[in-house]
Amino acid sequence: MKSVLIVEDDLNIAEMERDYLQLNGYKVDIVMDGEAGLQKALTGVYDILIVDLMLPQKDGFTIIKEVRRKLEIPIIVLSARSEDIDKIRGLDYGADDYLTKPFSPAELMARIKSHLNRYERLTGRNSALEIINYRGLEINTAAHKVYVNGKEVQLTAKEYELLLFFASNPNLVFSKEHLFDKLWSAEYYGDLATVAVHIQKIRKKIEKDPANPEYIETLWGTGYRFNS
């Protein structure tokens, strides 16, 4: 049984999420303030985190940032804040998805299933060992780990998926639209800006000089290319 942690200060919304998830076979815990939510999330016993942004004690952005430093579990933001700047900030801090209130419980359920399935695939469970190596960049697809010059770098599930897609398709050009449709559209209804945000985050972690990237190159007006 998969475990879900909901950090939400509106009890009615939290209970609605819980009831719907329990009907679908999930174990659910609810925490109503940010500080307690962060401590509970960091126990590492949960498979996915659903977090609001406006919380007492500690806001959702801080929770996302702190959890992402230690864990790679999927994180879904569920918030009444619908401005693009909040979505971009949440994704930049490490969230995998962003859903605005009011929301459809069925849509939330679909996104949770999609992220959990993808996370299980990307962690390399039941897969054969495979190492992808390009000039000091090493991707261990079985262990779901990435190394730069022998030093491990921490990527979110979505960052890892995007980097793996690029590395598996070297020297090919992909538009933002293609990348969004390939990696996001099944469970995410945002805009193309999320593609650029994730690429910027990956560059900060794997490139010597993110402003002059060696691996993921921008072809202005066309898209992106991974240089082998």
Q: Print the domain residue range for 203.
A: 131-226
pLDDT at 28 exceeding the cut of 60? yes
Are 104 and 162 in a shared domain? no
The pLDDT value recorded for residue 45 is 83
Are 59 and 142 in a shared domain? no
Q: Can you say how many angstroms the Cα of residue 208 is from the centroid of all Cα atoms in its chain?
A: 23
% of residues, the chain, pLDDT over 90: 57
Are 187 and 88 in a shared domain? no
The pLDDT value recorded for residue 38 is 95
124: pLDDT confidence band, cut at 50, 70 and 90? low
Mean pLDDT (whole number) for 29-35: 95
Distance CA 224, CA 221 (A): 10
| pLDDT tens by residue, 154-211 | 998 889 999 999 998 888 999 998 898 888 755 555 577 889 999 999 999 999 999 9
Total count of domains within the chain: 2
pLDDT at 65 exceeding the cut of 60? yes
3-class SS letters over the chain: CCEEEEECCCHHHHHHHHHHHHHCCCEEEEECCHHHHHHHHCCCCCCEEEECCCCCCCCHHHHHHHHHHHCCCCEEEEECCCCHHHHHHHHHHCCCEEEECCCCHHHHHHHHHHHHHHHHHHCCCCCCCCEEEECCEEEECCCCEEEECCEEECCCHHHHHHHHHHHHCCCCEECHHHHHHHHCCCCCCCCCHHHHHHHHHHHHHHCCCCCCCCCEEEECCCEEEECC
Are 70 and 110 in a shared domain? yes
| pLDDT tens by residue, 154-170 | 998 889 999 999 998 88
Distance CA 167, CA 72 (A): 20
pLDDT at 128 exceeding the cut of 50? no
69: pLDDT confidence band, cut at 50, 70 and 90? confident
Are 155 and 89 in a shared domain? no
The pLDDT value recorded for residue 209 is 94
pLDDT at 3 exceeding the cut of 70? yes
Mean pLDDT (whole number) for 6-12: 95
CATH number of 92's domain:
3.40.50.2300
Are 142 and 117 in a shared domain? no
Are 106 and 151 in a shared domain? no
| pLDDT tens by residue, 80-123 | 998 989 999 999 999 999 999 988 888 999 999 988 888 877 76
